[in-house]
Amino acid sequence: MQRNQQAMAIASKRAVAKSRKIKSLGITPDMTLELQDSLVLSLADDKASKDHPAIEFIKGQEWYVQDLIRFSALDAAERLEFEYNQAFPEVASEEEVVDVLNALMEA
């Protein structure tokens, strides 16, 4: 089946951006809980302001770090495929979605 080129462009951009962020933050699939917690607190502190203390950002940063850790365990092809699967429904035509659903139902 032909890939949706708009979804592929979005997927490529997201996969590269996440990969760069993983590298810049030093994230690995086997990070200790202590390192994860430290990173979460650091990211929450970075977002904090006078009106919004760091505690308000901890849950969101925990989710973000966990997402990046899971993503870091994927190889390049898996990263692109994951992001393509996320982007496809955002840009696909109704016909493309129906085609994918039909293919899944046949399998």
Confidence band of 102 (pLDDT split at 50, 70, 90): very high
Q: What are phi and psi of 56, to 5 degrees?
A: -70, -15
- Contact call for residues 83 and 90 (beta carbons, < 8 A): no
In tens, the pLDDT along 8-22 reads 999 999 999 999 999
pLDDT (tens digit, 9 = 90+) per residue, 61-74?
999 999 999 999 99
Contacts of 22 (CB under 8 A, 6+ apart): 68, 71, 72
For the segment 34-48, the average pLDDT, to the nearest whole number, is 96
Which sequence spans correspond to the domains of the chain? 1-28+75-107, 30-72
